């Protein structure tokens, strides 16, 4: 380009407006991406201009020193640490001692762990699942005016023995997936709902998660509603609360009907 053409181009109003507009758009984008959006996050590590720049640039959070301790949780959380030995290791005599302790549970949970009322059956439940619920009742993480006084005086070993006893009883037969509704077999991935069967039976059972086969329908519906409304909060990482909140009423009915379908 000749010097004359270059000068003519610089004097062109359209060229000036185009370059100026592009530069202004660049400045605006930098402000939005590096300052405004990071600062809008409710995270102490992004507060302030410097932290906003560092966060937007991908500087590891470990390089930023928090200026305040993390806020305490809004509700008590379960202190139970689930390990495989809770399911697999029963001390000598634990089942027998648990059977003796379970005598005061028979009115609600049945003589052999099978309830005839709208109360969960415990026969064949994993020891870790029963132990966690007992600990959560005792700590007040799971609320029950009936269960809390019954577990207050139990020692840690008492609860392990009770868990071993109920785990030793015959579990109800699991249903196959052929008759399962979609919410059990495949969940609803677009709404972040995993298949119920992936944790609660039919497919597999997750450590510390109760199997739901043959549980009372009314009990299952009540627990789903409690998770959905946040009145039950002893699920790990809020997983069940997130699932239940995204379930429709029809899906809750379908899940309760399916698991209660083989109730004796």
Rounded to 5°, the CA angle 119-222-80 comes to 75
The percentage of the chain sitting over the pLDDT mark of 90, rounded to a whole number, equals 55
- List pLDDT tens digits, range 207-264: 889 999 989 999 999 999 999 999 999 998 899 999 999 999 999 999 999 999 865 5
The C-alpha atoms of residue 132 and residue 231 are separated, in whole angstroms, by 18
The residue among 158 and 78 whose pLDDT is bigger is: 158
- Which pLDDT score is estimated for 252? 97
Which SS3 state, helix, strand or coil, does residue 63 take? helix
- List pLDDT tens digits, range 4-33: 676 776 677 777 888 888 999 988 888 887
pLDDT surpassing 80 at residue 103:
yes
Which SS3 state, helix, strand or coil, does residue 126 take? coil
DSSP-assigned letter for residue 104: G
CA separation (Å) from 193 to 80, 105, 131, 245?
A: 25, 34, 26, 10
The C-alpha atoms of residue 118 and residue 234 are separated, in whole angstroms, by 20
Query: How is residue 37 written in tokens?
Result: 């959006």
Q: At 121, is the pLDDT very low, low, confident or very high (cuts 50, 70, 90)?
A: very high
| Number of Cα atoms under 13 Å in the Cβ half of residue 116 | 5
- Which pLDDT score is estimated for 131? 95
DSSP-assigned letter for residue 205: B
**What pTM does this model have?**
0.71
Question: Computed from CA positions of residues 107, 111, 116, 122, in that sequence, does the dihedral angle turn out positive or negative?
Answer: positive
Averaged pLDDT of the chain: 86
What helix, strand, coil percent values describe the chain, rounded to 5?
Answer: 60, 0, 40
Cβ proximity of 146 and 183 under 8 Å: no
Cβ proximity of 144 and 234 under 8 Å: no
Query: How is residue 191 written in tokens?
Result: 């709404």
CA 218 to chain centre: 22
């Amino acid at each position: 380009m000749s010097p004359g053409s270059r000068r003519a181009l610089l004097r062109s109003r359209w060229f000036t407006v185009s370059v100026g507009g592009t530069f202004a758009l660049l400045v605006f984008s930098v402000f939005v991406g590096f300052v405004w959006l990071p600062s809008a996050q409710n995270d102490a590590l992004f507060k302030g201009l410097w932290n906003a720049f560092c966060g937007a640039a991908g500087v590891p959070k470990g390089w930023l020193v928090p200026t305040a301790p993390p806020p305490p949780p809004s509700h008590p959380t379960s202190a139970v640490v689930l390990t495989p030995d809770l399911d697999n290791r029963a001390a000598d005599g634990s089942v027998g001692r648990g059977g003796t302790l379970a005598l005061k549970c028979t009115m609600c949970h049945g003589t052999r762990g099978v309830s005839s009322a709208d109360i969960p059956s415990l026969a064949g439940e994993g020891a870790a699942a029963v132990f966690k619920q007992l600990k959560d009742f005792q700590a007040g993480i799971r609320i029950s005016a009936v269960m809390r006084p019954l577990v207050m005086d139990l020692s840690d070993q008492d609860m392990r023995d009770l868990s071993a006893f109920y785990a030793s009883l015959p579990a109800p037969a699991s249903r196959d997936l052929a008759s399962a509704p979609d919410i059990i077999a495949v969940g609803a991935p677009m709404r972040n709902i995993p298949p119920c069967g992936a944790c609660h039976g039919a497919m597999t059972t997750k450590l510390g998660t109760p199997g739901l086969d043959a549980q009372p329908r009314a009990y299952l519906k009540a627990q789903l509603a409690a998770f959905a409304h946040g009145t039950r909060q002893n699920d790990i990482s809020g997983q069940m609360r997130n699932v239940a909140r995204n379930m429709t009423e029809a899906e809750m009915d379908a899940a309760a009907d399916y698991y209660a379908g083989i109730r004796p």
